[in-house]
Amino acid sequence: MKFQLKKVVLLASLFLVVFFGAYYLVNFIDPHPASKNTVLIKPVENLIAKNEELQKRAGKDSINLTAFEDWAKINNLSTKEVYDGDPDKDGLANYLEYIHGTDPGNPDSDGDGFFDKAEISNGYDPDSKGETMTTVSIQIEKIKVDAPMVWSKTDIEANMLKDLENGLAHFMKTAAPGQNGNMIVSGHSSNYIWAKGGYNHIFKDLNDLEIGDMVKIKTVQKNGRMIDYQYKITEKFVTTPDDEKIFAESQNPTLTLSTCWPLGTNLKRLILKAELVK
């Protein structure tokens, strides 16, 4: 009888040990312990609130704070340089890597042999191998312009006229949208009645624009990222087609819009210069 009683007590004790052990494991031990590489990120809202320069550069609506915070954590970006750091040394700051959807830990996100920054600066899609160019459209609300931009691959006039049949022509070797330098875009103000294309009068009202008016350039990448660049007109003049001022380099992101002037002629050029706002 005593033996059976001891046996019952022993089994009961073992049951209690197992029960409380399991309870402890379930309720007190984290099944997903922190990784050694985990970087503690301060709330991005607080960081951005203190960084007016970032908002000025990217536009206050350009960065989704919650999504950026998650992206920064996933990529183990340090809080010290969460915006302007460049861990992969490709020349593209972290906040720009986020906006373009590129990998902040890989200088060549699409693996085509060219750094992300170099591709973006020259108008190539950083998320698409080969010579795929970013899709671009130009919108000027005041004069109801909304047209695709064609990346001209030549400065031969006959070829550029062909490009103008399909939209506004970007002069080769000039800056890409949002990048430092002078981005030159040309469009027809008029054309022969028999000329092909649906953009023969796209810039007919360009002269109605004034200093301070806005021009929006929209870019779309293969990865679906859509980026808007806002330019404000700062200068307007009429000159000869070969005036060096049209082609003058700039240290800052500058947009030059050009069209033949007066209407019905190609004697001179109506030029509008604009500077990047955000």
- One domain, residues 200 and 116: no
Name the 3-class secondary structure at 24.
helix
Mean pLDDT of 178-185: 96
- One domain, residues 58 and 154: no
pLDDT at 49 over 50: no
Confidence (pTM): 0.75
- One domain, residues 256 and 154: yes
Whole-number Cα distances in Å, 15 to 25, 97, 228, 258: 15, 56, 66, 86
- One domain, residues 139 and 272: yes
Mean pLDDT of 171-195: 93
Q: Is there a domain that residue 2 lies in? A: no
- One domain, residues 163 and 268: yes
Distance (Å, rounded) from C-alpha 92 to C-alpha 104? 8
pLDDT at 15: 56
- One domain, residues 226 and 190: yes
For residue 182, the enclosing domain spans 135-276
pLDDT at 93 over 80: yes
- One domain, residues 89 and 161: no
- One domain, residues 142 and 112: no
- One domain, residues 202 and 88: no
Q: Is there a domain that residue 28 lies in? A: no
